[in-house]
Structure formats: structure tokens, C-alpha cells
Structure 1
Amino acid sequence: MKKPILTGLLVVAMAAALTPPGNQPPLQVHAAASEEGSDIQIRLNGQPFRDDRNPLLVEGVTLVPLRNIAEALGAEVKWDETTQSVLLRKDTSEIVLTVGSADAVKNGQPIRLEAAPRLSGDITMVPLRFIGESFDTLVTWNDATRTVSIDPLQALPTVGSYDNLKALLEKTQVVSGSTSDLRLFRENSSTAVMEKSETSNAISQSDSVAAAPAAPAEAKAKQSESGEYSQTNTQVEGVDEADVVKTDGTYMYQVNRGRVIITKAFPSNEMKVESVVDFDGQSFRPSELYVDDKHMIVIGTTNRNVNNPAAEPMPAPVEAPGGVMIKIAPVLPSSSVTKAVVYDITDKSAPKKQRELELDGNYVSSRKIGDAVYLITNKNARYSFLAKPATGVATEDEAKKHAPSYRDTAVSDEWKAIDYGEIRYFPDSPEANYMLIGGFNLSRPGQAMDVSAYLGSGQNVFASENNLYAAVSKTEPIRIMPAEIRHDSAAPATPGPDARIQGWVEPPAYERKTVVYKFRLEQGKTKFVTQGDAPGAVLNQFSMDEHNGIFRIATTKGDMWRTDENTSKNNLYTLDEALKPLGKIEGIAPGERIYSVRFMGNRAYMVTFKNTDPLFALDLTNPANPTVLGALKIPGFSDYLHPYDENHLIGFGKETVEVPVKGVKNPNPATMVYVQGMKLSLFDVTDVSNPVEKHKEVIGSRGTDSELLRNHKALLYSKETNLLAFPVTVYESTDSAADGFTTGSGKFSFQGAYVYRLDLQSGFDRKASITHISEEEKKKAGNGWYGSDRNVERILYIGDTLYTLSKGMIKANDLSTFVEKDSLTLP
């Protein structure tokens, strides 16, 4: 056989990147058919790239010749005639592709291509994006010119040295606080507020409006010897998130009062505590964990001294009453640390610690994709200390002391300071804060943790299987109140031309934007790709999504309390793979803010609220021109939206009642909104121009609450079994008011799990209310309940058994009848 001419390897599934308006594949082809992409132009590093073979379009995926592009990117290409395979090498990366197979191997790890390589005559054709991502390039698509651009990843400048760090921070006019960093506020300078990081939620994506959305991970139960078992309700299928409870179908692993308890859960009549991993004598405080077939990864926080205690001078003894001389140890500055401990759980009765990994800074979030685990932290740069007058050139020890550091016992028990030449910063927004990303691969226990440090921050994190996005809000003034002007209570209700003289002035206005940093994920390593921004601030992870290479982000801009042009408005933006703007919808629901967002393929659903709950359906079929399809206004609001199918979604939030304020007359009567009980809604969006609340359930009265409203991982949902369950604390109204609403919290009546069957015909059918609280404890509660070790935190199922977990107990109920079968008191 003649040796194929291999030209160009750049794996980029262009089902997303090569999509014309309408987000449809550039050419509609059948499974075995292909079409010439002769009108597709390729630019490599800014220059036109020509090859002997035009691209092919197969099922919307662009295939390009292999050898020439790969070699232009610096890769070595070798063809094996016997196995019909291609070996590509560049730096430390090695990839093996086989003609006719979508399964490839990179650095010994299996990967899946968007399409199988194929021979076109004697030329090997391969999917475009994969090689681009594998060899540090960014591939983008310009629909107007039908051009694919292959460019190097964005390069960020390095801090370089400790002195350069101090100079950078001086320029940003940053002052340091104990929990946040705030730039000095001046009329002609920018301001940026570091917000407290929060663990938040994001959403899964789907293939198209016509097809059902990609099922969230919890909807696809895993299989074990015990049968199917539920998983954590995660953001994106294939991207695991840490939680307080995990199961492998036989055992449960629970973060419990500073320990991890491993319980044999199935069968329920054999429930017992298998082992307790205790951290007594350590400052480590576990918060959540991951579990796979071989490993348990416990994540939490600890502290470490910034200075060497031996180097600190001991204060002189102090005379105490009675003439006793005492010594007071110096107060040593400490730094918050995020820690992950990896255990071998082959023997559940005796987990074996394999490795400890520590990153400076407060825990922001983490993800586990296959064997790869990623940790994201924020560390204060201690600017207040750095800004002290210098007494000369900083010593090496001083520089190391203030550098972000990490520890990985797979390499050394010692802490390692990150060299300033390896710390990068974002030129438009350096901050007195470091964002650290640490990645490690469980299948390579001897490989050191990959750590990247950036002078910046991350607040909300969205991750797909290939990319991680860290978003942070920035605040800048657009109008400043002069210091000499004060608001006068005698000022007119409406400002006139002489308002300044009368003492009236509009309050200062600020403009917020969200900066997004994109990182490529690869088997435990991360690479910075690019950055972009969008006006306004995101609510949480649900505000972000990636679909077919397009990044979508929903924001709120302005303030709800304002009545001028700077009142709040809600928006949705689409950005391409380089995070450059594509399309937008702005000005949705003025005067309100976003309460929840859900992306489902080529649609998005947004809930805003001030007095009523508008549910907006948005069409994202054409990323360059998203549109509003329809809206539904009903009382209440949804804090969390969850897909039911392509035409229905479930809302979890609160019911509200809007009543007029007495004494205020028309034509503009004032109203007051009272939040009532927890509300479940099933929305029908079959007719997207006219969404309908098909079914509704209100739980309790004012004061009723659920962790689910703040943390999506508290939800158990399985469409296959119509099972819906979540923890809830219920308050019942004691009011007998004829108007049917309450203005104060009712009386505590229940804490535990509410379990429903849900279908389109019957709606929400509550089948069980499972509590761990005894009647005696309930009587002691009186009107209020402030929590105990018997508060149900999570619900899951294994086989035919439903389990509810609190810190003090595990209960097992039959999944069909919900009759209690067994229980176990936890130590």
C-alpha cells in the first residue's frame, strides 16, 4: 500500500466552531457522506494556510489534512502502515491516532475524538480542534468569511520579581483588608471590589432545541452489584463536583463533624460503620469529598504559619500577679490553606492515606474529570505588609515568604514557593490577590501537582470537560458624587436645573462588568487560553455555560433601587472561543435582577424578580443574534431551575404575595411583597412564546427553607423513576388572617426530606416526609428550629432503597412504599 501523505493535524470538532447563523452544521450530510469544504479558509498564526487537500465536512465536523499543519505547529509526525496509525510528538506530548477509530491515546491516557480519522485517497484527514487544543493553539471560526483561525494561546506577562510585585500593586492603588481587597476610590481612577467567593451552581448543556437536553449527571444513575444508585446532582455530565456525601453503590462516604465516616449501606439490613477517618490533633477541617473506584479525596481547609517561628524574637518575660514571670509567645501571621488528602479505599475498613496536597488560599471550588482533580483557591497578596517602607532590596527569604506556595507529598513534605518569574498577571486588572489552580492526576500518583498562579481572582467557576472558566466581578464608577455636596432632606423630589444649588444630587453610579478567564483542562494540567468580559455581574455558576464552543453568560447590570437610567437590567451575551463578543440581548426586565438561569442547548431560561416572577425563554440558536421567545409572569420566584425534558423544567424557590401599602393612593399605589413558603413549579415551555406554569406546590409558610435554594447538590432527581427529593425545614402559619398570607414566620413543624413522585399529568405528588428528629426533640424546638445533628442533609438511593443522611443518623426506606426498613445511629 502506498504510504498516505499526512497533512495537518488540528483536532477541533467544528460542529461548534464551523457553524453558520442558526448554529446548524455548515453542510447537512448523512452518516457516511462527506462534502468538500473548499470555501473554508484556514489561517495559521495569522497567515493563509494552503494544502493539497481541501477540508472535508462530515456530520458537521471539519476534517483537515494532517501532516503539514501538525509539522507547522512543531509536531513530529510518524505513520505506521501496519497499524494504520499516526504518532504525533511535540515537547512532552505524545498522541496516537488510528484511521477509522475515534478512540485515541494522549500521554498514555485514552481520549475520544469528535470524529474518526479517515483516508481521502492517500491523505489522512483528522478532526481539526483536537490538535489545536493538544498543541497549545486556539481555533476560532469567522462565519462572515468562513475562516478558521489557528493562533497561539494568549500569553500573559509575568510578575518577574518581588520588587516588581510591589511596584504592580502600588500602581493599582490597592489597600488590603482581612477578608477582601478594595482599590482606592478616586473620581478619575477605577475601582474594583473583590467579592467573597462562593460555591455555586452551573448547568448542563444539550445538542439542540429539537433534541432533548443533555441529561444532568444525577439523572443517569450508575450501576453496581446492588443495582442502580444515584449520584451527586452536578453541573455538567462527566464533570464531578465535590459534596458532603458520596456513594459507590455499596458504601457511603460522609463528611461528618470534622471526620469522614465510611458506612456499608447496602443491603440496608447490614448497615454498619465500616471506618472513621479522624483528623484529631490536626488543624484540618474537611468540607467535602470525591470518591471513585479506588480513591477518596477529602478537601478542606487548614492554616500554616507564614514566618518561621524560630526566626521570631521571643518577647521579654512579663511579671504576673504574685510575682510570677511569664513568657508570651509571639503572634505569628498565618495563612489560610486549601488541602486535599488522597486515600486508597481498597480496604474500606482501613483507608490508607496516599498523598497530601496543599494550596495557599481560601477554597473557591474544585472539579474532578476522570482521574484528574482541579483545585481553585484565592490568596490575599498581603499588600498591607508589602507596602511597608523598604529598607533596601528585598532578601530572597523575604520574597519567598510572601510568594504563594504549595505542598505535594508525592514530591516533598516541604512547602514550595512559586517563583515570581512563573506568576502571571492580567495587564488590565492586577489585584492584591492570587488565584491558584492546582491539578493532579490520580492515575499518576508520582507526578507532581501542576500549579499555576495569577495575580487576580476568581469568584464563580464553570467547567466543561475541556475548559474551566473563572469569573470575577469588577466595579467602576461612572458618576461620582462630589465630596462637597450632600443629600438634603429638603431637596425636591425631582431634580431641576438648580438642583446642585438646592443640595440635591443623584447618588453616585457604578458600572459592573464580569471578567472571565478561560483555561484549558488536560489530564490534571491547566493552560491559560484567553480572557473576555461582559457588562454586569453574574449571579452564580448557573449564569455561565459552554455549548458547541460558544460561551454564554447572563448578567445583571445596574441597581434595583435606582429609578434613573442606571436601574437594574438583565442581559445575556454570547462569546466565541476566544471570548470575543458574538451576540447579546440587553435590557430584560428593567428594575429587577436575575434569580436563576438555566441553559438547555439552544435555549436559555431566566428568572428575574422584584414583585412578580417573570420566566423568560430565550432562543440561542443563532449565537450572533439571540432573542427573547416568550415570558411568563406569576407570583413568587425560582432560585434554582432544573430540566425535566426539552419542553419542561422544574423551578424551586419561594411563593410571594404582593399587597398594597395602606395610605398610598392612586395613580401610583405602592406595594409590599411578602415572601411565603417554599414553592415548586413545573413549567411547560412547549409553546416557547407562551410558557405555562403547569403544576405548582407550596410547602409551609413564611420561614420555610431548603438548602436546595442555595446549593443544587442537595437535590435528588431521577426522571426514569419520577423521583424528586430534597431536605427542607418547614414552618406552618399560625395566622388566621383572611387575606391568606403571613407577615411573620410561622411555627416550626418539620425538618427532614420531602419525597415526591413527579410526572406531567399528576404534577407533584408527595409520597413521604422522612425525619430524623424525635417527637421529644420537636417539642423542645418550640416555634423555632436552629438545627441539630439530626437535620437531614442529603437523600440518595441504592437499588430498591432510599437513604436519608444527617450527621447523627442514616435511615433506609423502601423506594416503592417508602416504609422505613432500617436505621443506623452514627458515632
Structure 2
Amino acid sequence: MNYRPASSNQDRGEVKRFDSEQDFSDWLEKADSLAAYGGDSGVEMGMGMTRAISSIQTEDMAVAAPMASVSEKSSFDMGGGSAPDRFSGTNVQVAGIDEPDILKTDGREIYFSPGIMPILYRGMPTPMPLDVMPETFSIEEPYYDQQSSISVVKAFPAEELALDSEIKGDGDLLLHDNILAVLSYDGVRAQNVSDPASPQEVWQVSYENNSWLVDARLKGGELFLILSSSINYARPCPYAPLLGIEGKVEIACSAIWHPVIPVPTDVTYTVLKVDMATGKVKQTASFVGAQGSSAVYMSADNIYATYSLPADTFTFVSGFLMANADVVPSYVLEKLDQVINYDLADETKSVELRNVLGRWFQSLDQDEALSLVTEMNNRIGDYIKVHLRELQQTGIVRLDTNKLEVKSSGSIPGTLLNQFSLDEYDGFLRVATTSGETGGMFWMYGLGGGRNDSANDLYVLDMNLKVVGQALGMGPDERIYAVRFVGERGYVVTFRQTDPFYVLDLSNPRRPTVEGELKIPGYSSYLHPLKDGRILGVGQEDNRVKLSLFDVTNPTDPSELDKYSLNEYWSDVLDTHHAFLLDAEHEIFFLPGSNGGYVMSYSDDELKLSKAVSGIRARRALYLDNYLYVAGDDQIVVLDMTDWQRVNQLELR
């Protein structure tokens, strides 16, 4: 299929700023009318900033490195005492840009924030199988320790493992130059941890006016916060999402961006650039939106904000009826032509079209109605297969990171999976989308329910956000489960019954091609580049965690070199890439499970279990020199990576 989005569709992504409070209110009234008339039926709509800033990329970083790590002591100010020659950082999409997580290290100290968790009474009996249960048996109810805290642990040398101090509260962490930022549900608190035994709070900001944190990123000494704020319909602007160290941070009406085409809206998203050392807000940018899954991607110079555009069901259904004139009465087609030419908003036309169709359907006897419904359901299915990319559109805006001003806008068919669906490379933006799965958007027209027809595509956009290249039709009637871009290659996993693994050649951005495909059982929901020509997939097969080692040396003939199944239904890696740890020097990786932690080797192109760490509800792991630190809800276990023996352990609760 040689589908290319029409220029009118690309123009739907145009955005501008409000002129005044009245302008905002008028826009909201139009947007609300869309929801009232069912404009969002079955389709996620609204301009949503995402749950994640996907990455920030340096200019000369040709290949997105999977892991932030430090290999030399001089890279950080370690202060007095010994320091490791190497240590790991949080697994991030792009090296050098940190993402919030529950575990951080500076090479000597570990900062761990497991959050509020159930604490079981010691001596609690172990549950036994029913056939060996005694006649009288009871288990004490667990209680919850509400006094959550962040553990500051002396981690290096390993034999001196000890708890230095605790910081009250919990939240995700970011660390830069002895400043530890704790991102909690109500604000950000920054601690100076230069003296690990006595952390001192140096600044604090709090979320205001029904605002909450969506996500954050750290680039050098700049903290990027993404906040979402409920709209006050009585007075939508100005609004103040944050109480900063210098008072309320107020966002003026003229600083809020919105799509030119009104979309159902219930929140405003604000990007704030904060100085990590002082807590001062340096710059802001704001967008209207709706709560839901969208995506934001940051490069060194640009911020890409994506949002879902409303489905134009009126145009779609009108086209369907016109294309099937042999079963539609002439008077209905004549009335439809009149409605199309009305100088009215599409939502009003949609109401009139439903009235016309309703009168037609009511004029039929039961036999005629059954025959029509059966025929229409079949025909609309065929029509959707050809036109499914017209149903769902994602708008994209590009902002300059220096001034946070919109530089360009556009749109593409489909919806995005997560932060890994976006990637900027060599002046182009690559985006992977899924189109289709219509939900119940046609019920209101009496044309049947949703369908599972879908298509998965790759689009390449220039800096004006115009589509310049595309590779279409991966995994028909499936949806994307995982995406990874590595330099001039792209890797996409789709799934419904089997796991097609696609390799894309992106060396020519104007002619991207699907070079190879591999179909295997199960699916991968996280892809991680290993050494040259090797990609690791983490997913599931037969309700167990499955690891796949892919050989992509020949992009036209990818293969699964090896696979390994864990006796686990779930791993946190399936939910967050932060739970994954790679040590390329030892050719091993770590992933947590509900029964413990697992150290896997991928040397010699084989997946082998090097060590299973039991007796711990593993959450994360990191390495300092040749020691692996496995962090669980209530303890840290240290392993010597030369023989995988336990060398130390610290109880945290």
C-alpha cells in the first residue's frame, strides 16, 4: 500500500498560543463540544504531554548508548576515601541524560528509595501446600510501615557496606554534583549529600493548584520537570503549577500553546527548566492537553511534544457511504451531500448525519434492517482496511530547548507506544506508530462496533516535521510491543499471536526500508542493544519471562541465536527499562523477578544463568568495580563478580 498522509492531515498539527483568557475560554467551549458530540468515541484524544521525556541527545552521539556509566574516578568528584575504577548508572535511553529512578550511586554511596512496602512480622510461618497443612494453622496479617525513607548506604569498598543515614520520605531520585533530588507526589526536595552521614536539605519546590508530576529528566545541571495541571474552567489562565523558591511560578495566557483545531481538553502541561544546584526555575513552556498516553522526546536542541488528534469520523463515514452508493438510498446520499456542504462545524454535521441515518434505519422492516446491518458490517470492515490510517492521527510540535518556542508542527497517522517510539538522528525524527483498532467509534452511526484491523508503520520527518520517508505495513492486524533505534538501524516488535521482529535500514532517511523479518513464539516488550550485531529481547512466552538473543548482523536475515525462560511470570523490566542492568565488560546483564534476581551471561552468543539471587524481592542492581549490588525491598546483597559468591549483605528495614 503506497499510502502517504495528505498535506491537509499534516496541517492538522498546527499550534499557536492563546491571546487572552477569553481566547482560552472560547477554545475550551469549542473543544468541549467535540466531546459532547462523541468526537472522542473510541479514540484517545487531546494534546497530552507524556509520562516520559524520552531522551536528550548530544550532537555528536551517533548511536544512542543504552547505559550511563562512569569508567574513570576523575569523572566525578569523589571526595576523600577510595573510589571504584568503574560504576554503573541508571539504564537510560541515551547516555549522559539521567532519568528518575529509585536507585542511584555516585560510586561510593548508594541512594535507594524502595517506597512504602509491606513489612512482615519476623517469625511468620511459611505457607504450606493444603495437603500438608495442620488442622490448626494461622498466618499473622502483614502490616505496612508508613515511615518510608531513602537509604544512604556506604557501598565501597564492599566489605565496609553500611547504612550511613536515612532521608525521610520517598520518591524517584536524580543525582548531580552532591545534590540529590527527591521527586515525590507533592514536590521536589533537594538534599546536599556531600556528607553522607548528615544530608542537608538545600531547596524545595511544591506542586500547586491540582498539579502533579508526570516525569523529569536531568541534563548536566538542568532539571526538566513535566507537570500536569487540572484546568480551572472558570478561569483557565493565568495559572501557577509550582511554588518555587522565589514564589509562585505563574504561566500567562499568552505563554500557553494549543492546537489550532480544538480537541477535548482537561489539563495543561508545563515544562520547567530548573537549576539543580539552586532550585531556581529558569524557563517554562506550557501546552493544553488531555490525560492519556502521549510522548515527549528531547534532543540537545529540540523538544518534540506529541498529542492525539481527534478522529474525523464524519469525513470517514461520509466517504464510506459515498463509496457504497449501491446500498444507500438516493435521498440519503442527496441529504448527505447537503450536510457536507453546510458551513457548520464537523461536530454539528456529525449530529445531522446521525439523524439522517437514524430516519433511514427506522424506515426499514426487521428483515431489511438485519440484511442492511450484515452487509454494512462486512463492507465497513473492507473500507477500514484501506483507510485505517485516516482514523487516528498524532500531532507533533518541535520546540527550541533554548527559548522553549515552537519552531514547527505536523502530524502522522497512528499512535505511539512509549518513549522509544521516537528518535532524532542526523537532522531527522524517526517515529514508529500503530494505526487501527477502532474501538466503538462507529456505533453512534449505527454501523457496528470496533475492529482489530491495524497496521504498524515507520515515518521519517525533517525538521519542519513533514514526512519525507516511510516504511509501512509491518505486522498486519498486530500492534507494536517494542521499538529501538540504534544509529542507522531500527528494530520493531509487533505481536498478536506470534512475535515478528523487524529490522529496518534507515541509512537513507527518505527511503527507509524493512530489510528483514523473524517470526518466533511469544513477544518482546523491551529491546536492548548488546555488542555489535546483537539485540536482546525481554518479554514473555507461555506466561513466563522469555529472553531472546537476536543476531542482526545480516539485516535481511535476522535470527534468534538463543533463548532462555525464567520461572517467573513477570519482571520489572517488562514495565520499566530502569530495572535492567548491563555490564558489557563482563558480558552479563541483570533483571529482577518476584522470586529473586537473575544474572545472565550472553558471552559466546549463548544465554546462560550465571547466578540466581534468592531470598530477596529484587528491585534493581548496580555494579562498583567487580562487585554487583542487588537492591531489594529491605536489603542489599553484594556479589563478587569473579566467582558470584555473596561477600556482604545489609538489612535496610
Q: TM-score range by the shorter chain?
A: 0.7 to 0.9
1:817: Cα distance to partner?
1.1
Residue 333 of structure 1 is matched in structure 2 by none
Q: Tell me the distance in 2 between the aligned counterparts of 1:681 and 1:278.
A: 41
Contact 2:538 2:547 in 1 (8 A): yes
Name which of 420, 425, 432 aligns with 2:253.
Answer: 420
Q: Tell me the distance in 2 between the aligned counterparts of 1:638 and 1:558.
A: 21
The 5-angstrom pairing of residues 308-707 of structure 1 reads: 339-360=187-208, 361-383=211-233, 386=234, 403-409=239-245, 411-412=246-247, 415-429=248-262, 431-442=265-276, 445=278, 447-456=280-289, 459-476=294-311, 477=313, 478-479=316-317, 498-500=371-373, 506=380, 511-522=391-402, 526-559=404-437, 567-655=453-541, 675-700=542-567, 704-707=569-572
Residues 491 and 466 from structure 1, CA distance in 2 versus in 1: closer, same or farther, beyond 3 angstroms? farther
Q: Tell me the distance in 1 between the aligned counterparts of 2:464 and 2:204.
A: 35
Q: Tell me the distance in 1 between the aligned counterparts of 2:55 and 2:471.
A: 20
Q: Tell me the distance in 1 between the aligned counterparts of 2:272 and 2:55.
A: 23
Residue 752 of structure 1 is matched in structure 2 by 596
Post-superposition CA distance 1:609-656 (Å, at most 9, x none): 11111111111111111111011111111101100134111111112x
1:252: Cα distance to partner?
0.6
Contact 1:568 1:591 in 2 (8 A): yes
Contact 2:47 2:288 in 1 (8 A): no
Residues 677 and 590 from structure 1, CA distance in 2 versus in 1: closer, same or farther, beyond 3 angstroms? same
Answer with 1 or 2: which has the greater Rg: 1
Residue 125 of structure 2 is matched in structure 1 by none
Q: Tell me the distance in 2 between the aligned counterparts of 1:823 and 1:189.
A: 54
State whether structure 2 residue 176 is matched by structure 1 residue 292: yes
Residues 564 and 262 from structure 1, CA distance in 2 versus in 1: closer, same or farther, beyond 3 angstroms? closer
The 5-angstrom pairing of residues 11-160 of structure 1 reads: 157-160=16-19
**Amino acid of the structure 1 residue aligned with 2:98:** D
1:161: Cα distance to partner?
3.2
State whether structure 2 residue 32 is matched by structure 1 residue 173: yes
RMSD between superposed Cα atoms in Å: 3.6
Post-superposition CA distance 1:107-132 (Å, at most 9, x none): xxxxxxxxxxxxxxxxxxxxxxxxxx
1:213: Cα distance to partner?
4.0
**Amino acid of the structure 2 residue aligned with 1:403:** Y
**Amino acid of the structure 1 residue aligned with 2:502:** F
Q: Tell me the distance in 2 between the aligned counterparts of 1:165 and 1:463.
A: 27
Contact 2:48 2:288 in 1 (8 A): no
**Amino acid of the structure 1 residue aligned with 2:184:** G
Residue 807 of structure 1 is matched in structure 2 by 633
1:565: Cα distance to partner?
9.5
Q: Tell me the distance in 1 between the aligned counterparts of 2:374 and 2:522.
A: 43
Contact 2:294 2:416 in 1 (8 A): no
Residues 561 and 765 from structure 1, CA distance in 2 versus in 1: closer, same or farther, beyond 3 angstroms? farther
State whether structure 2 residue 580 is matched by structure 1 residue 715: yes
Q: Tell me the distance in 1 between the aligned counterparts of 2:451 and 2:178.
A: 57
Contact 1:570 1:593 in 2 (8 A): yes
Post-superposition CA distance 1:546-593 (Å, at most 9, x none): 101110000000018999998100000001112111111122221111
Residues 502 and 708 from structure 1, CA distance in 2 versus in 1: closer, same or farther, beyond 3 angstroms? closer
**Amino acid of the structure 2 residue aligned with 1:766:** L
SS of 1:301's partner is coil
Residues 439 and 483 from structure 1, CA distance in 2 versus in 1: closer, same or farther, beyond 3 angstroms? farther
Greater alpha carbon shift after TM alignment, 340-349 vs 354-363: 354-363
Post-superposition CA distance 1:496-543 (Å, at most 9, x none): 995249896858988112222222324xx6333322221000010111
SS of 1:421's partner is helix
State whether structure 2 residue 62 is matched by structure 1 residue 184: no
TM-score for both structures, normalised by structure 1: 0.60
**Amino acid of the structure 2 residue aligned with 1:185:** Y
1:371: Cα distance to partner?
0.6
SS of 1:542's partner is helix
Residue 255 of structure 1 is matched in structure 2 by 113
Q: Tell me the distance in 2 between the aligned counterparts of 1:501 and 1:720.
A: 62
SS of 1:617's partner is strand
Post-superposition CA distance 1:159-210 (Å, at most 9, x none): 3433332211001125xxxxxxx823347999753599764585898999xx
**Amino acid of the structure 1 residue aligned with 2:627:** T
Contact 1:554 1:570 in 2 (8 A): yes
Residues 491 and 548 from structure 1, CA distance in 2 versus in 1: closer, same or farther, beyond 3 angstroms? farther
1:811: Cα distance to partner?
0.9
Contact 2:58 2:299 in 1 (8 A): no
Name which of 763, 787, 810 aligns with 2:606.
Answer: 763
Contact 1:206 1:602 in 2 (8 A): no
Q: Tell me the distance in 2 between the aligned counterparts of 1:752 and 1:196.
A: 37
Residues 571 and 687 from structure 1, CA distance in 2 versus in 1: closer, same or farther, beyond 3 angstroms? same
Q: Tell me the distance in 1 between the aligned counterparts of 2:29 and 2:218.
A: 38
Q: Tell me the distance in 1 between the aligned counterparts of 2:423 and 2:231.
A: 30
Residue 274 of structure 1 is matched in structure 2 by 164
Can you give the 5+ residue segments of structure 2 that lack an aligned partner in the other structure?
A: 1-12, 116-147, 318-349, 441-448
SS of 1:183's partner is helix
Tell me which protein shows more helix as a share of its residues.
Answer: 2
* Greater length-normalized contact order (CA 8 Å, ≥ 6 residues apart): 2
Residue 4 of structure 2 is matched in structure 1 by none
Post-superposition CA distance 1:662-713 (Å, at most 9, x none): xxxxxxxxxxxxx33111111111111111101111112xx61101012111
Q: Tell me the distance in 2 between the aligned counterparts of 1:242 and 1:203.
A: 12
Residue 619 of structure 2 is matched in structure 1 by 793
Residue 232 of structure 1 is matched in structure 2 by 90
Q: Tell me the distance in 2 between the aligned counterparts of 1:527 and 1:577.
A: 14
SS of 2:404's partner is strand
Q: Tell me the distance in 2 between the aligned counterparts of 1:491 and 1:248.
A: 74
Residue 741 of structure 1 is matched in structure 2 by none
Q: Tell me the distance in 1 between the aligned counterparts of 2:67 and 2:361.
A: 55
Name which of 634, 638, 642 aligns with 1:816.
Answer: 642
Contact 1:471 1:515 in 2 (8 A): yes
1:359: Cα distance to partner?
4.2
Contact 2:110 2:152 in 1 (8 A): yes
Q: Tell me the distance in 1 between the aligned counterparts of 2:39 and 2:163.
A: 62
How many residue pairs align between the two structures? 539
Q: Tell me the distance in 1 between the aligned counterparts of 2:255 and 2:53.
A: 31
Can you give the 5+ residue segments of structure 1 that lack an aligned partner in the other structure?
A: 1-153, 175-181, 280-285, 303-338, 387-397, 656-674, 730-750, 774-790
Q: Tell me the distance in 2 between the aligned counterparts of 1:270 and 1:341.
A: 29
Q: Tell me the distance in 1 between the aligned counterparts of 2:62 and 2:250.
A: 48
SS of 2:91's partner is coil
Contact 2:204 2:279 in 1 (8 A): no
1:357: Cα distance to partner?
2.4
TM-score for both structures, normalised by structure 2: 0.75
